[in-house]
Chains A and B, each alone.
Chain A
Amino acid sequence: GEDVEQSLFLSVREGDSSVINCTYTDSSSTYLYWYKQEPGAGLQLLTYIFSNMDMKQDQRLTVLLNKKDKHLSLRIADTQTGDSAIYFCAESRRTGANNLFFGTGTRLTVIP
């Protein structure tokens, strides 16, 4: 099947902004999500965006959606050591069952 793509690794210094990028596959995807996974744990939903929106902001998190390029990004302002985790983007496609398609995950390391 077609893949949702993410870079595998990102390192930032504490206090800087982090930008995690994702390229998804289906231009008709209705919802796009960002999940956070801490070591040895399940995935926690951070935020989501409707496909008819360009941007969504929630405290330190900003999601940008470029539908033309099928590009989704997650910006974390003032990154803290507690933000170190794996971040997954996921898309909900119109066709088929109510399944989410996940990217490979980006491991964010925050350097004190």
Chain B
Amino acid sequence: DGGITQSPKYLFRKEGQNVTLSCEQNLNHDAMYWYRQDPGQGLRLIYYSQIVNDFQKGDIAEGYSVSREKKESFPLTVTSAQKNPTAFYLCASSMGRILGYTFGSGTRLTVV
């Protein structure tokens, strides 16, 4: 079955460490997105990529980095520069406007 997979589901990080969240899709979607979700604030766009080897900053890109070397994969690195990284992170992919987005099941990152 086609879908979008995020791993791990839960992640704990010590302050000062970088950590990478995985996002893989086998839907043949061109576009991929990373969102951060905090209680009462909805979804905020971190980075997006519309095509391989290209990506754009979203509204809250500071302290994050991404790569898009393959169509199927769009990993997100949360760097030590991100001041408040504890959140629920959602990855999504899209083929076009009509179909909206397909979301992964999310990764909950906790800084300890």
Contact = CB atoms under 8 A, between A and B. Distances in A.
A105 B42 contact: yes
Interface string A56-97: 000000000000000000000000000000001010100001
A90 B31 contact: no
A103 B98 CA distance: 18
Interface size class of A (residues with CB under 8 A): 20 to 34
B42 A45 contact: no
Contact of B31 (A4, A8, A98, A102): A98
A104 B41 contact: yes
A100 B45 CA distance: 9
Contacts of A4: 42
B34 to A, nearest CB: 12
Interface in A20-75: 30-31, 33, 35, 40-45, 48
A100 B101 contact: yes
B59 A1 contact: yes
Contacts of B22: none
Contact of B98 (A1, A31, A90): A31
B48 A99 contact: yes
B82 to A, nearest CB: 21
Dominant secondary structure of chain B at its interface with chain A: strand
Nearest to A42: B103
A14 B104 CA distance: 29
B40 A48 contact: no
Interface of A: 1, 4, 8, 30-31, 33, 35, 40-45, 48, 88, 90, 92, 97-100, 102-105
25 contacts: A1-B59, A8-B40, A31-B98, A31-B100, A35-B100, A40-B106, A41-B106, A42-B90, A42-B92, A42-B104, A42-B106, A43-B90, A43-B101, A45-B100, A48-B100, A88-B42, A90-B100, A92-B97, A92-B100, A98-B31, A98-B97, A99-B48, A100-B101, A102-B43, A105-B42
